[in-house]
Amino acid sequence: MNFYELAQERYSARKYKPAKIEEEKINLILEAGRIAPTATNAQPQRIYVLTGDEALKKINEITPYAFHAPLVMLVCADISKAWKNPFNGRNSAEMDASIVTTHMMLQAKELGIDSVWVCYFDTEKVKKKFNLPENIEPYCLMPMGYAADDATPSPRHSQRKPLDETVTFI
Ligand SMILES: Cc1cc2nc3c(=O)[nH]c(=O)nc-3n(C[C@H](O)[C@H](O)[C@H](O)COP(=O)(O)O)c2cc1C
């Protein structure tokens, strides 16, 4: 499968088999995130891999969008370590965390593991329940696992705008 085919194949899976992801696959997914680019190579991402029963119970209590997957990546960044754009003051932590997450999502797909990007959760609750340090900001969750046999892409998966609505050549 070439890259475009892989990107096309990926869809947001919202129903998972209970089967755990093999350790070597988890490690490769994390490794693909590790080599992602970040602003000034600051690597402010901090990833909590939720696989234990207690951690998974906690996250499923916080949001219905953990979908009872066997693994949930809680993707955070240390905002004190991220580059800050001097022109507009923007901290790059969220962008950095996003590209790391994208690498992991696509590496997972190549290994036959499905996922869904989730932002619908109370970040304050997550910080409190997982005792995150003050400067660690959670950005997204990524439930991962083997999609259930009856999991299907939502209709949104096939609704992408044509390039001329989102791209301008100048
Ligand atoms: C930043 C971001 C936040 C998202 N948050 C959620 C979410 O909280 N719950 C959910 O079910 N899907 C969430 N999604 C998945 C999108 O709804 C999904 O990617 C989009 O509808 C396209 O469908 P596809 O991923 O199947 O191609 C999110 C995706 C992104 C990129």
| pLDDT tens by residue, 74-130 | 999 999 999 999 999 999 999 999 999 999 999 999 999 999 999 999 999 999 999
Mean pLDDT of 135-161: 97
Q: With contact defined as beta carbons under 8 Å apart, do 78 and 127 qualify? A: no
Mean pLDDT of 139-156: 98
6 C-alpha vs ligand 1 centroid, how far in Å? Answer: 17
Does 3.40.50.300 match the CATH number of domain 3-166? no
Distance (Å, rounded) from C-alpha 98 to C-alpha 47? 12
- In the block, tokens 């022109």 appear at 87
Q: Which residue lies with its CA nearest to atom 10 of ligand 1? A: 118
pLDDT at 60: 98
pLDDT at 1: 87
136 C-alpha vs ligand 1 centroid, how far in Å? Answer: 23
Nearest of 9, 167, 1, 10 to residue 102 by alpha carbon: 10
Distance (Å, rounded) from C-alpha 14 to C-alpha 120? 13
Non-local (6+) Cβ contacts of 153 within 8 A are: 11, 12
- 69, amino acid identity: A
The best mutation among 12, 63, 122 to test binding of ligand 1, ranked by most ligand atoms within 8 Å of the C-beta, falls on 12
3-state secondary structure 33-100: HHCCCCHHHCCCEEEEEECCHHHHHHHHHHCHHHCCCCEEEEEEEECCCCCECCCCCCECHHHHHHHH
Question: Would you list the domain boundaries of the chain?
Answer: 3-166
Residue 53 has pLDDT above 90, yes or no: yes
| pLDDT tens by residue, 5-27 | 999 999 999 999 999 999 999 99
- Per-residue pLDDT band at 147 (split at 50, 70, 90): very high
With a 6 A CB cut-off, is 147 part of the ligand 1 pocket? no
Question: What percentage of the chain has pLDDT greater than the value 70?
Answer: 100
151 C-alpha vs ligand 1 centroid, how far in Å? Answer: 15
